[in-house]
Structure 1
Amino acid sequence: MFRRLYDWTMALSASPRAPYALGAVSFAESSFFPIPPDVMLVPMALARPNRAWFYAAICTLTSVVGGLLGYAIGALLYDSVGRWIIQFYGHGDGVEAFRAAYAQYGHWIILLKGVTPIPYKLVTITSGFAGYDLFWFVLLSLITRGARFYLVAGLLRQFGGPIRRILDEHFAAAMIVVLVGIVGGFFAFKYLF
């Protein structure tokens, strides 16, 4: 399944629709979608390394805009939609502790969580629920999401050839590492906060 997605994304990268698809996934991931945009960013940047920075910019901007939707869900719809999304990911018990931590460590929470495998949508929804300052939320989201996506793009631009060969030869092992990272992020959020 993942191999087909990888091959499809590699083929999509030559299409004029590629940036729109990447933006849609990045937007959705920041508020409700479970798959991170890296599953599209990595193959697209490998297929077209000269556009890696452009792809990172798309991911950054659409992720922050999607984060605003997550923030709105937390601020306006937490009791219905927001709580359901948080509970769907198995983190309903940790939200109150996470919300309380915003009073003292809000800046650091957004900065650190935005670059880790911890699902960013949980940060965006909780930020809205906690009433975190919207200006700081947007600014810190731009910094942390930008750092994450530009780091990935930079590594792929610099080492794309060897990375692509490794993915082509050991795709299953690479996907296991990615899945462990995603699942690890969910567990880290659940048990650390």
Structure 2
Amino acid sequence: MLKSICEKLANSRFGIAAMCLLTYLGGFIFPVPSDIMLPPMIIGRPDRWKPLMIACVLCSVAGACSAYLLGFAFAGELATWAQSVNLEEINQATTLMAEYGPPILFIAAFAPIPFKTLALAAGAGAMPLAAFLPAVVLGRAIRFYVISKVTLQGLKWINS
């Protein structure tokens, strides 16, 4: 069902706006991976892969910044809540961010792991933005570049 919705949106005049909104929300609240719209958009317009990829990077970074700000603004409440419900994912993310900082955030931005949790933890731990932003931008840029190139290569393979 989600696949058909994404395909319909990708082929509509609202495709880019839907992709940007989904990617932004995926950066901090939406449980579906934010890159679900990029391949259908590229398949529909292979000549526009670069602007589509850049839009995904920018919207994903904006979503990560929102997660960071939420973590920063509600650090005390987040820590109390995570301990009260024994939410292991938040506790592990906070520990990872305290120990490794930007390198673990870069890996999370690139890899298919719960990136939004680490972005929240970065804000809760008051990671300097000068360390947060480069890790997020670089990691997300690599992720969306790889997705774009794999999609384009798949199109070449299918069309040959």
Whether TM exceeds 0.5 here: the answer is yes
Equivalent in 60, 64, 68 of residue 67 of structure 1: 64
Instruction: Compute the displacement of 1:161 (Å).
Output: 4.6
Alignment counterpart, residue 93 of structure 2, candidates 98, 101, 116: 98
Please say if 1:143 is aligned against 2:135.
no
SS of the aligned residue for 2:113 comes to coil
Which residue is 2:29 aligned to? Answer: 32
Say if 2:9 and 2:18, in contact at 8 Å, map to a contact too. no
Give unmatched runs, 5+ long, in structure 1.
165-193
Counterpart position of 1:116: 111
Give the gaps of 5 or more residues in structure 2: none
Runs of 4+ displaced beyond 3 Å:
82-87, 161-164
Deviates more, 1:30-39 or 1:91-100: 91-100
Q: 1:160 matched to which residue of 2?
A: 155
How far is the alpha carbon of 1:145 from its aligned partner? 0.3
CA distance in 2, matches of 1:36, 1:71: 18
Q: Deviations over 1:89-133 (max 9, x none)?
A: x98223233323323311221111111211221111111011111
Q: Distance in 1 between matches of 2:79 and 2:157?
A: 43
Partner Cα separation in structure 1 for residue 81 and residue 144 of structure 2:
24
After superposing the two structures, state which structure 1 stretch, 142-151 or 2-11, moved more.
2-11
The alignment of Structure 1 onto Structure 2 pairs a total of residues equal to: 158
Q: Give identity over the alignment, percent.
A: 24
1: CA distance between counterparts of 2:27 and 2:80?
Answer: 15
Of 46-55 and 96-105, the range deviating more from structure 2? 96-105
Rounded to whole Å, the distance in 1 between the matches of 2:55 and 2:143 is 12
Q: Is the contact made by 2:97 and 2:105 (CA closer than 8 Å) also made in structure 1?
A: no
TM-score by length of 2: 0.85
Q: TM-score, normalised by structure 1?
A: 0.72
Q: State the AA in 1 paired with 2:48.
A: R
1:50 counterpart = 2:47:
yes
Match of 1:191 in 2: none
